Structure 1
C-alpha cells in the first residue's frame, strides 16, 4: 500500500525542506506557505523513500526526509515510473502528475550538501486538481491514464 511518510516545506527554493506532518494543499497552487507553490505545472514535488534507499546504497547515509526538497515523501510506489497524466488521490487531495524528473541547470544547495540529487531523475511533479489536507500516513491511490 502506498502512503505518505511526511509533508515537507521551505521558505526558499533549492534547499532541503523541513517535515511538518501535515499540510494544506491549495487547488491549482500547491502546498500552502511553500516556496515551490504557484500557478504553474510543478506545484507539488514528490519523492519516494525508495529513492533515498538508492542513495544509501551509493554510500550516502542518514539523509533526513525532505533532504531533496520534496513536498511529499512517499513509500510503496515507484513514483518516477508513473506516466504523466497519472492521477494521485492523496489525503483529501486529487493531483495530476505533470512532469517526471527535472533538469538542473546549476548545482543546487541540495546537490552541494548531499553530493548528488535524485530529483532530476526520480522526483515527480503534480498539479493540485482538488485541494485539501494531507497528513503523514495518509494513503495514496494511483489511477493510471487510459
Structure 2
C-alpha cells in the first residue's frame, strides 16, 4: 500500500524542509505556510523514501524526510513512472501530476549539504485540485480515469 511517510514545509525555496504533524492543502495553491505555494504547476513536491534510500546507501547516513526539499515523502509508489495528468488521492486531497523531475538549481544548498540531489531525477510535482488535510500514514491512491 502506498502511503505518506512525512509532510514537510519550509518558509523559503531551496531549503531543507521540516516535517510537520499535518498540513492543510489549499486548492490551486499548495500547502498552507510552504514557500512553494502559489498559482503555478509545481505547488507540491513528492519524493519516494525509496529514492532517498538510494543516497543513504551511498554512505550518506543523515538522510531524513524533507532533506531533498520534498513536501511529501512517500513509500510504496514509484512516483517518477506516473504519467503527467495522473490524479492522486492523498488524505483528503486530490492532486494532479504536472511534472516529473526538474532542472536542478545550480548546485543548491541541498546538493552542497548532501553531495547529490535525487529530486531532479525522481521527484514529481503536483497541483492541488481538491484541498484538505493530509497526515503522515495517509494512503496514496491513483485515481483510475474512466
Scaled by the length of structure 2, what TM-score is found? 0.96
How many residues are paired up? Answer: 146
Where has structure 1 moved over 3 Å in runs of 4 or more?
none
Instruction: Quote the residue 1:109 is aligned against.
Output: 109
1:33-59 alpha-carbon deviations (Å, 9 max, x no partner):
100111000000000000011112222
Instruction: Quote the residue 1:86 is aligned against.
Output: 86
Q: Matches of 2:81 and 2:59 in 1, distance apart?
A: 24
Scaled by the length of structure 1, what TM-score is found? 0.96
Q: Which runs of 5+ in 1 are unaligned?
A: none
Q: Which runs of 5+ in 2 are unaligned?
A: none
Say which SS state the counterpart of residue 65 (structure 2) adopts.
Answer: coil
Instruction: Quote the residue 2:121 is aligned against.
Output: 121
Instruction: Quote the residue 2:133 is aligned against.
Output: 133
1:1-48 alpha-carbon deviations (Å, 9 max, x no partner):
000001100000001000002100000000001001110000000000
Q: How does 1:54-93 map to 2 (within 5 A)?
A: 54-93=54-93
Say which SS state the counterpart of residue 137 (structure 1) adopts.
Answer: coil
Instruction: Quote the residue 1:10 is aligned against.
Output: 10
